Structure 1
């Protein structure tokens, strides 16, 4: 997954005095699932339009599958499948008939089109509904059919723009599992544009956070959280202490502090309200637990504090100008 399949260099789009995308540099590797995050108006859709060759950049360059999307947009469209948040189909035709129509538009022979459509319907779990009119499909079924539709031409890249809007929780889980399977098994690169942070965290290898046309952060969730929240303390270990096991003179807690101080990778240690909080440069859960137990203090819980994508997004969105790139 080292080969870049999407390369954006200094990509900028202005509408008069308004800058929709501001000097964007981004590299997405083959087979990667990349999440493009940001509020409405952040520049995500404009960036996607430039990737597809549907909008010319004011400056900068965009290459998809090694093709200049500005110079040769038709060739890019042959390599890229795009699934918007609401897919348009012929409502009076069945799911299979809609896919056959797309396949024929992509110049597949009738025999090849039929075989590929049946295979894709099975892949997205719609084989039982293949003959059903699309007008009777649920929202989740339409999105599955939309995914099959973009896969008809065997794309190297698929771009999904808010693909889970209006789908029930079970349908969302199944759709995301399908996306991951396609990426892992067929090395399809996936660009997922969304503001559903939990869903993105579930499936994406890396994320890019957009605010006001700028890419403020890029990396995987763990790396971004360490950069943002704990530059000196990448690991935060929280230990629940049974206060009833403490002596009245504080000797046990003093022993805990003394033993922790001897560990070179411990940066800080505080005790408050029955919680021992240890900041360290490495995962020292085993050592911390041993020290607490050996001191005679009752241990009721031990957890590693981890920041999620919602914490990261909020931090960058509130900061507004902090840029952090994780290689």
Structure 2
């Protein structure tokens, strides 16, 4: 998992005076699902085009599967599958016929192509619609067919550029679940480019926050949360308890909770208990509260999610330091 399969160093793309991608450094490990998160126009698609060798960088280096995409773009394309936001198919052909055509273009014999295509159609859940013309497919079905299309050549990396646009919520969940299953079972590296925060948080091992051509930060949600909210306690355990109005017992409880590793603050107001810290101490809080003789009526951990992190990065236009 530690071997980089995508490596970008100082990657820059300019169109005249406009800088679309600005000195981008990024390392994606083999087998992980990495989310490139940013608003439309941030430079995500331009970065992907440089990874695929479809446009040349102004400066910097891009390697995919150890291959320089600028110098050997065809070799990269042989090992990478790319799914754009809108997939084009021969609409008069069936889904199966489209996949067979792709398989033949990638050098599979007819028997090999049929075996692989039939297996993929079953894997993505389109076996019952395989003979239906692609022009009659729904948006969600087209994206599933597109995923099968990029998997035909057995790629090491798949790049998905806004793959869930226009799909209904149930279809989105099914599509993302399929991505995770394929990545875990086939050990495929996935780069998911999106501006949908909850979708990225749902499936990605790590996230890169990308805006105005710059990668502002990268890491998993916990790392980003701890880096951004260290002064605001990234975890807050909230509990409702009985017995805190008894003289002296509240102070004793507060003292015991403050002894917990990672706890920064404890606040008790009426029957509400708030414990702030740099890690999730919910289980330990519950144990201490109960052992102290209090009745625990409710307990919940508030953790800063990707929406909080995203908002924090763009508050007042501030740019925070990168995390590994």
The TM tier, using the shorter chain, reads: over 0.9
Instruction: Give the CA deviation at 1:227.
Output: 1.4
Instruction: Give the CA deviation at 1:289.
Output: 2.8
Matching of residue 259 in structure 1 with residue 256 in structure 2: yes
Instruction: Give the CA deviation at 1:204.
Output: 0.5
Instruction: Give the CA deviation at 1:125.
Output: 0.9
Assess, with a 3 A threshold, how the Cα gap between structure 1 residues 92 and 222 changes in structure 2: closer, same or farther: same
Match of 2:305 among 301, 308, 319: 308
Moved more, 150-159 or 274-283: 274-283
State the match for 1:45 in structure 2. Answer: 45
Instruction: Give the CA deviation at 1:282.
Output: 4.7
Q: Secondary structure at the match of 2:164?
A: coil
In 2, Cα distance between equivalents of 1:131 and 1:265 = 58
In 1, Cα distance between equivalents of 2:27 and 2:152 = 26
State the match for 1:158 in structure 2. Answer: 158
1:1-327 equivalence runs, <5 A:
1-230=1-230, 233-242=233-242, 245-247=243-245, 250-263=247-260, 265-272=262-269, 274-318=271-315, 320-327=317-324
Contact (CA 8 Å) 1:95, 1:129: kept in 2 or not? yes
Contact (CA 8 Å) 1:232, 1:281: kept in 2 or not? no
In 1, Cα distance between equivalents of 2:4 and 2:300 = 37
Contact (CA 8 Å) 2:226, 2:278: kept in 1 or not? no
Moved more, 184-193 or 285-294: 285-294
With structure 1 as the length reference, what TM-score do the two structures score? 0.93
Instruction: Give the CA deviation at 1:67.
Output: 0.6
Instruction: Give the CA deviation at 1:312.
Output: 1.0
In 2, Cα distance between equivalents of 1:63 and 1:264 = 42
Assess, with a 3 A threshold, how the Cα gap between structure 1 residues 325 and 166 changes in structure 2: closer, same or farther: same
In 2, Cα distance between equivalents of 1:174 and 1:310 = 22
Q: Secondary structure at the match of 1:86?
A: coil
Instruction: Give the CA deviation at 1:290.
Output: 3.9
In 2, Cα distance between equivalents of 1:312 and 1:200 = 13
Q: Secondary structure at the match of 2:153?
A: coil
5+ unaligned residues in a row in structure 2: which ranges? none
5+ unaligned residues in a row in structure 1: which ranges? none
Q: Deviations over 1:69-122 (max 9, x none)?
A: 011111111111110111011111100111111112222222221211111111
Q: Deviations over 1:10-37 (max 9, x none)?
A: 0011111111111100000111110000
RMSD between aligned residues:
1.9
